[in-house]
Amino acid sequence: MPVVGMAGGGQLARMTQQAAIGLGVSLRVLAGAPDESAAKAVSDARIGNDRSLDDLAAFAKGCDVVTFDHEHVPGPNIRELEAQGVPCRPGSAALAHAQDKLVMRDRLSGLDVPCPAYSHVPPSAPLAFLEAFAREHGRPLVLKATRGGYDGKGVWIVEDLDREAHELVQRLLSEGVDLMVEQHVPFTRELAALVARSPYGQGAAYPIVETVQEGGICTEVISPAHGLSKDLAAEAQSLALRVADELGVVGLLAVELFQTAGGLLVNELAMRPHNSGHWTIEGARTSQFEQHLRAVLDLPLGSTEPTAPYTVMANVLGGDDPDVYSRYIHVMAHDPGVKVHMYGKESRPGRKIGHVTVLGDDLAGLRERARHAADFLRWGPRMKEHR
Amino acid sequence: MPVVGMAGGGQLARMTQQAAIGLGVSLRVLAGAPDESAAKAVSDARIGNDRSLDDLAAFAKGCDVVTFDHEHVPGPNIRELEAQGVPCRPGSAALAHAQDKLVMRDRLSGLDVPCPAYSHVPPSAPLAFLEAFAREHGRPLVLKATRGGYDGKGVWIVEDLDREAHELVQRLLSEGVDLMVEQHVPFTRELAALVARSPYGQGAAYPIVETVQEGGICTEVISPAHGLSKDLAAEAQSLALRVADELGVVGLLAVELFQTAGGLLVNELAMRPHNSGHWTIEGARTSQFEQHLRAVLDLPLGSTEPTAPYTVMANVLGGDDPDVYSRYIHVMAHDPGVKVHMYGKESRPGRKIGHVTVLGDDLAGLRERARHAADFLRWGPRMKEHR
């Protein structure tokens, strides 16, 4: 049976291990430390720096294919692995579009995929440029680092081009951050389209979900997105499958979308298991983690059929008391049907340390159950103060 | 988060690791070799002899609770661990009933739980005793080693008390095998009742399943047992919950049952995740592996609600060609909805190397799909020759 190497030791690699055990596939992870989320769950955990070419090359020896738990492995290092004959999936050429938001925007625009208005911010006279952009596209502006952001990091909403904004832009540019600016889209809600593509070219699309964000962090995912028309759902699935195909993605592709009065716009891309797909562990016949393994191994893809009318996932964030276990017992006693997933990570305020999933047909009830479980795991009986 | 130690490195420990990852619990296994099924899947795998008190005691250090992947850890060693203060769940007193069939029969009879007629076989003049037993209860006779059997091993169906039977009995007795005899029950089918019990005393019962055996090995499990009356299903669940309670079982209890014209009879007991419960991974809200962990940790038990009208599980046995992977690709391509579970075990003829699960509402179709997948994984295109 083949060996899949996954660079990165986070919860995505950890949950991929659950799928690998079922498939009988060996998962090897490259983690930064033995106490990282995935390193605690995988027998073949190598400790090293997944940004380092030497560590990556040593890690890749004996792997049938190398894939990624995040977007932060430098593109040149992936290209060098490829030059050494290591099958990297997704490959560096596709992954560039998930690593650099400007590369992604330019490519998608070339494919006539609808995106918000955007532009690179020139390092010389950036403020005059932003003033002109704001005159054309309105305010607020969305300022983004082209590379390295996640979970709202690397994104700044700029209401006014006042002194504070000037200082922010100057500080970022002086730190060498490459900036782009986007129109702030007046969306009705956020959706995500998750698809898989294999080297053979097979594609598979999951139901379109609604994602709820708070402070740039996804807190809740509802599958399928409630009340989404069949036409828009099919359009979102087709769009994601087409992007996967045009970009040559192998593995999963998550397309974050804005639903607006004028239609769908692409927000971000990710080429790995994605937070918007955690619901698939129980809510789809094939979990996104199994699907990613099947895709990168060029196995036939699994059914994406939902297993219940609705699935709701809520992220568990760390609260101010790191002892989660007593609250976890309460949640299990309160709701024997809730599925609790803990990532083996130390609890810190605001950190994603797990998620909960509930399934059924009463969407409002499911949302209440998921929210209760996630809030109680974070705050305990003091959850009401934080609602 | 707590550490659960599981003695034994087989597929039950391997699948328990999938559940432990989700719960955020650390699973430590004691495996005989690094290439055993669970050792390949668990980061904290200790290599040792799970029959040895020294190895068990060293293994147990740092575990919050110790549990078992099989029944073969000697009772005296578990009692010694308990004397040293190690929480063993199930405890030695309960486990004795899953380790010794005569102890089990005597105890269940004392509880008025219906069992086939049985008796210990006296080592002196055993044949005269068996002749008398046959005159009273008919033939064939079921001869069993009181200890150490599994998957049909340790069980002999004796049609006639001829020379061959005499030689078998004499050989077994001379090897020191302790024997019992049971009436061969004319059953309509075999059922299994799976329940969990926590130290707190909480109980949870899964739907009653039908198990199909070939040559003493379970080949197929159908959940729920088709056409079983509500009354009989409730009776089987109550019986298993009562046995768990009376015997003080902590963790899972699987009760194998014969359905006969006269009612239900208990065949065997197991106190661990059981082959008849593999369907729960996809087919119940809480898998048996998660439930076992919750029970031994004294966590509130999870919902046993089924996730589909029917779930069918078929065991994958090794065929004569050990290269399973090419057949595995075919099975995935043929049926994107089948869930394939491989145990990371070397394929040998007749060995359980995995299982497949399908879910839906068309029972006949599900059985055909499960059988096709399991047969194809075993035999490939030559499966028709073996049907």
Average pLDDT over residues B12-16: 98
Q: Which two tokens stand for residue B145?
A: 């080693």
| pLDDT tens profile A140-181 | 999 999 987 666 678 999 998 889 999 999 999 999 999 999
Domain spans in chain B, listed from the N-terminal domain onward:
3-88, 117-183, 186-307, 311-387
- On whether the CB atoms of residues B173 and B179 are closer than 8 A, the answer is yes
Q: Which chain B residues are Cβ-neighbours of A15 within 8 angstroms?
A: 21
**Would you call B110 exposed, middle or buried from its count of C-beta atoms within 10 A (0-12, 13-18, 19+)?**
exposed
Q: What is the pLDDT of residue B170?
A: 93
Is A305 an 8 Å CB contact of chain B?
Answer: yes
Nearest to A299 among B1, B286, B329 (CB): B329
CA dist A39 and A30 (Å) reads 8
Closest to A91 measured CA to CA, from A103, A75, A104, A107? A75
Kindly report the number of other CB atoms within 10 A of residue B135's CB atom.
9
pLDDT at A386: 81
Which three-class secondary structure state does DSSP give residue A336?
A: coil
Task: Confirm or reject contact between A23 and chain B (CB < 8 A).
Answer: yes
- Tell me what the mean pLDDT of segment B275-301 comes to: 98
HSE-CB of B313 using CA atoms within 13 angstroms = 25
Is some CB atom of chain B closer than 8 A to the CB atom of A313? no
Beta-strand relationship, A26-31 and A65-68: unpaired
Higher pLDDT, A153 or B58: B58
Measured CA to CA, the distance from residue A288 to residue A16 in angstroms comes to: 9
Terminal alpha carbon distance of chain A: 49
Question: What fold is seen in the domain B311-387?
Answer: D-amino Acid Aminotransferase; Chain A, domain 1 (3.30.470)
Is-same-fold flag (A186-307; A310-387)? yes
pLDDT of residue A60: 98
How far is it, in rounded angstroms, from Cα B240 to Cα B230?
A: 15
B305 lies within 8 A of chain A by CB: yes
Q: Summarize pLDDT for B210-249 with one digit per residue, the tens.
A: 999 988 788 999 999 999 999 999 999 999 999 999 999 9
Q: What is the pLDDT of residue A150?
A: 66
Residue A183, Cα to own-chain centre: how many angstroms? 22
Question: pLDDT at position B319, please?
Answer: 94
Do residues B344 and A24 touch, judged by C-beta distance below 8 A?
yes
pLDDT given at position B225: 98
Residue B317, CA distances (Å) to A24, B17, B31, B332 in order: 15, 22, 22, 17
- Contact criterion met (CB < 8 Å) for B299 and A344: no
CATH code of the region A117-183: 3.30.1490.20
**DSSP structure class, residue B122:** -
Share of chain B above pLDDT 90, in %: 92
Contacts of B332 in chain A (CB under 8 A): 294, 299-300, 302
Average pLDDT over residues B105-123: 97
pLDDT range class, residue B150, cuts 50, 70, 90: low
Note the pLDDT tens digit of each residue in B342-373. 999 999 999 999 999 999 999 999 999 999 99
CATH hierarchy code of domain B3-88: 3.40.50.20
Band (B64; pLDDT cuts 50, 70, 90) = very high
Q: Return the residue in A11, A43, A342 with the most chain B beta carbons within 10 A, the one to mutate for interface testing.
A: A43
CATH numeric code, A186-307: 3.30.470.20
- The amino acid that residue B77 corresponds to is N
A185 is in an annotated binding site: yes
Q: Which of residues 345-374 of A touch B (CB under 8 A)?
A: 354, 359
Q: Which CATH number fits domain A310-387: 3.40.120.10, 3.30.470.20, 3.40.710.10, 3.50.50.60?
A: 3.30.470.20
Query: Higher confidence at residue B162 or residue A342?
Result: A342
Residues in chain A, pLDDT under 70: 149-152
pLDDT digits (tens, 9 = 90+) for B72-98: 999 999 999 999 999 999 999 999 999
Instruction: Say if the Cβ atoms of B299 and A2 lie within 8 Å.
Output: no
